[in-house]
Structures are given as C-alpha cells and as structure tokens.
Amino acid sequence: MSKSNIIQQLDEYDITQKIIETVANVCSRSVLFSILTEAKDATQIADELKLSISNVYKTLAHLEDLALVNVDTFKISEEGKKIKMYKSRIAGVEIKIKGIEPVLNLYPNNGQER
C-alpha cells in the first residue's frame, strides 16, 4: 500500500469518525432536526431549542464544515444585514459496524421527513 493511499484512508476514516461523533452529540442532532424541513437562522434555532446563540453558531459552523448543513438562502434584517438561513443536507444517518471499520451511510434531505 502506498503512502498516499494510507493518508487517503486515514482522511476518510477521520471524516467518518467526525461525522459519527457529531451526530451522536445531542446538540448537533437537535440542530439538524430543527432545520430538517425548513431553513432557519441561528436566532430562530437558538430560541426554539433554548440554546445560547454562541452554542448554535458554533454547532452550525461545525455542521457546515462537515457538509451536513448548508446555507439555503439569505434574508435581510430590518437593519439591512444579510442573515444566513440554514437547512440540513441530510435526512438520515445509518452507522454499521463491520469488522473494525464503521460504515456510515448518509441519506440526502429531499425536504421530506424519513
């Protein structure tokens, strides 16, 4: 096995592991559930889930880094500021343990609940 192959496999495992850890986190799951069927801004999510706005922004940034959420649209505030509206890119997650490697299946969000 070449050195670049090993690095690629480790990178793939690392991202799989990060996604598994993220969806296992109750705060991350709550945010994903909140934006499953409709796009919301961070303030709406924080109010709905009774979380601090800083925690919601941190969670959204992490979910966005892992490509689990995206900015669906923007809205303009009364002050004229552009506000991101987030939406979950996934509708479901399946984790299987096969041998020593976890198998992660992500199901796309087509706007319908699973």
Residue 107 lies in a domain: no
Residue 13 lies in a domain: yes
The rounded mean pLDDT for the chain is 87
Residue 25 lies in a domain: yes
Give pLDDT, residue 1. Answer: 44
Query: Residue 49: how many CA atoms within 13 Å on its side-chain side?
Result: 25
Residue 82 lies in a domain: yes
The span from the CA of 70 to the CA of 49, in Å, is 19
pTM over 0.85: no
The DSSP line for 52-110 is -HHHHHHHHHHHHHTTSEEEEEEEE-TTS-EEEEEEESEEEEEEEEETTEEEEEEEE--
Residue 102 lies in a domain: no
Helix axes 42-49, 26-34, angle to 10 degrees: 120
The span from the CA of 37 to the CA of 88, in Å, is 8
The C-alpha angle with vertex 80 and arms to 74 and 85, in degrees rounded to 5, equals 20
Residue 17 lies in a domain: yes
Give pLDDT, residue 4. Answer: 55
| pLDDT digits 0-9 by tens, 44-86 | 999 999 999 999 999 999 999 999 999 988 999 889 999 999 9
Looking at residues 24-42, what average pLDDT do you find? 96
Residue 97 lies in a domain: no
Give pLDDT, residue 114. Answer: 39
90 pLDDT higher than 90: yes
pLDDT-derived band at 113 (thresholds 50, 70, 90) equals: very low
Give pLDDT, residue 110. Answer: 85
Residue 110 lies in a domain: no
**Which one, of 71, 78, 27, 23, lies nearest residue 48 by Cα?**
27
**Residue 28, domain extent:** 3-88
Q: What is the CATH number of the domain that holds 61?
A: 1.10.10.10
User: Domain total for the chain?
Assistant: 1
